[in-house]
Amino acid sequence: MNQKPESGHPEQGASRDREIVDARVIVTCPGRNFVTLKIETRSGVYGLGDATLNGRELAVAAYLQEHVVPNLIGRDAGRIEDTWQFLYRGAYWRRGPVTMTAIAAVDVALWDILGKMAGLPLYRLLGGRSREGALVYGHANGSDIGEASEAVGRFIEQGFRAVRAQCGVPGVKKAYGISSGRAYEPAESELPVETVWSTPKYLETAPKLFERLRADHGNDVELLHDVHHRLTPIEAARLARDLEPHRLFWLEDATPAENQKSFELIRKHSVTPLAVGEVFNSIWDCKHLIEQQLIDYIRTTIVHGGGITHVRRLADFAALHQVRTGFHGATDLSPVCMGAALHFDTWVPNFGIQEYMFHSDETDAVFPHDYVLRDGRLYCGESPGHGVDIDEALAAKFPYAPKQLPVARLEDGTMWDW
């Protein structure tokens, strides 16, 4: 890869400093698995990128180790766009969650290096502040409606202005999003847990949950709900219409979105705002949804959407169609992704909301960071780059443990969407 500047080139010294001399994939499991890419330059400045894909961590680690890292050594870390184009076009087998998560890890690490070399926090490199803090939503859940309402109350007491609410469904053994004590962590076993799903029972319960939440907590708190891809378009339209009186901030993943046109059916029947995209990995997964204004929030985040370089294009395209960002931010996205996302949230003009689930204390110790939660908003720090580091010695103490996400079947055994 001929990137060496001609002798006497004005940039010669600087670009030598930016030369990538090492890139390492760090897999650690402080309570759950994370994959991190660390790119080091000749100057000693290094950058970090999150490469975690829940349940498929080693696929991304191998993609990086075998197919990306050898191409990075000797490159100019300052050529962020060119590296992105090289990794995207050069993959030949374009897009997909593994490829785009690997590209994202490189991209974020290079933006982190740029910030550190420039002595600027990432949001300054993107265009400066559009807001002080990023409105966040927490995850409240309960085994039944009463417990869920109590959990929502606790988040309101902690200062959250927006809360996602999920509750158990009578007759459904393991409904989505219901934690057993500690923070909800779906990847709980080496092989997928098989769960049984009943849409009729769910459609009976969900409207009652939000009727109760509005009765208990009033209209000021923003309420969100995640269907997690489980309804057909017409069922999603029914739920969105049934929830209209409760004025949700958004209804998420109402139906699987490979068929982007299916959202036209939901839109025709309801004004409940719609969010989708945590499983998307490129602008092409949501182009129709956005340009036809079939959704209100796009959830595709930095770690799975090809990094800052691609998600910035996606956010700008969304802005043209009055669609706002609502980044995915579950515990299976590392603090490195959260750090980069918060800088993006601080800059992006069409910001909507940021999902925020508390990481475990072990995770926070492995990934020291400078972002802080205050009065229902997350504030990125002023450190150069994205403000998140990794304690490699501590990370080494948490070996990888194979974990996969659950699967779901209908009561008659039909394979369904988890």
Residues 6 or more apart in contact with residue 62 via CB below 8 angstroms: none
In the range 340-369, which residues lie near ligand GCO by CB under 6 A? 355
Choosing among Mg ion, ligand GCO, none, which partner's interface includes residue 186 (Cβ < 5 to 8 Å by kind)? ligand GCO
Minimum distance from residue 304 beta carbon to Mg ion (Å):
12
Choosing among ligand GCO, Mg ion, none, which partner's interface includes residue 332 (Cβ < 5 to 8 Å by kind)? ligand GCO
DSSP, collapsed to helix, strand or coil, labels residue 99 as helix
Closest CA to 68 of 33, 97, 39: 39
Of the candidate spans 119-127, 327-335, 358-366, 368-376, the one that interacts with ligand GCO by CB under 6 A turns out to be 327-335
Residue 57 binds ligand GCO (CB under 6 A)? no
In the range 177-236, which residues lie near ligand GCO by CB under 6 A? 186, 226, 228
Minimum distance from residue 6 beta carbon to Mg ion (Å):
50
Stated as kind and residue range, the H or E segment containing 317 is helix 307-320
Bridge partners, 298 (sequence order): 276, 325
- The answer to whether 77 and 19 have CB atoms below 8 angstroms apart is yes
Minimum distance from residue 56 beta carbon to ligand GCO (Å):
10
Choosing among ligand GCO, Mg ion, none, which partner's interface includes residue 54 (Cβ < 5 to 8 Å by kind)? ligand GCO
State the burial class of residue 124 (Cβ atoms within 10 Å of its Cβ: 0-12, 13-18, 19+).
middle
- Tell me how far the alpha carbon of residue 317 is from its chain's centroid: 18
If you search the block for the tokens 């046109």, which residue do you land on? 261
19/226 with CB nearer Mg ion: 226
- The answer to whether 254 and 266 have CB atoms below 8 angstroms apart is yes
If you search the block for the tokens 């004590």, which residue do you land on? 181
115/186 with CB nearer ligand GCO: 186
Minimum distance from residue 405 beta carbon to ligand GCO (Å):
6
- Closest CB to Mg ion belongs to which residue? 226
β-pairing verdict for 372-374 and 297-298: unpaired
Residue 278 binds ligand GCO (CB under 6 A)? yes
> How many CB atoms neighbour CB 382 within 10 A?
11
Choosing among ligand GCO, Mg ion, none, which partner's interface includes residue 18 (Cβ < 5 to 8 Å by kind)? none
309/334 with CB nearer Mg ion: 334
Bridge partners, 297 (sequence order): 275, 324
DSSP, collapsed to helix, strand or coil, labels residue 96 as coil
Q: State the DSSP code for 169.
A: B
- The 3 state secondary structure assigned to 275-307 is EECCCCCCHHHCHHHHHCCCCCEECCCCCCCCH
Task: State the number of binding residues for Mg ion (CB under 5 A).
Answer: 1
Minimum distance from residue 228 beta carbon to Mg ion (Å):
6
Taking phi first (over 0 means left), then psi (-120 to 50 degrees means alpha), and beta for anything else, what does residue 123 get?
alpha
Of the candidate spans 59-67, 74-82, 261-269, 326-334, the one that interacts with ligand GCO by CB under 6 A turns out to be 326-334
Minimum distance from residue 138 beta carbon to ligand GCO (Å):
11
Distance CA 234, CA 241 (A): 11
Active site positions, annotated? 176, 228
257/294 with CB nearer Mg ion: 257
Residue 332 binds ligand GCO (CB under 6 A)? yes
Options 19, 50, 226, 235; binder of Mg ion; rule CB under 5 A? 226
Q: State the binding string over 357-396 for Mg ion (x if CB under 5 A, else -).
A: ----------------------------------------
Distance CA 195, CA 192 (A): 9
Q: What are phi and psi of 385, to 5 degrees?
A: 85, -150
Minimum distance from residue 279 beta carbon to ligand GCO (Å):
8
Task: State the number of binding residues for ligand GCO (CB under 6 A).
Answer: 10
166/383 with CB nearer ligand GCO: 166
Positions in the binding site for Mg ion (CB under 5 A):
226
Positions in the binding site for ligand GCO (CB under 6 A):
54, 186, 226, 228, 278, 328, 330, 332, 355, 405
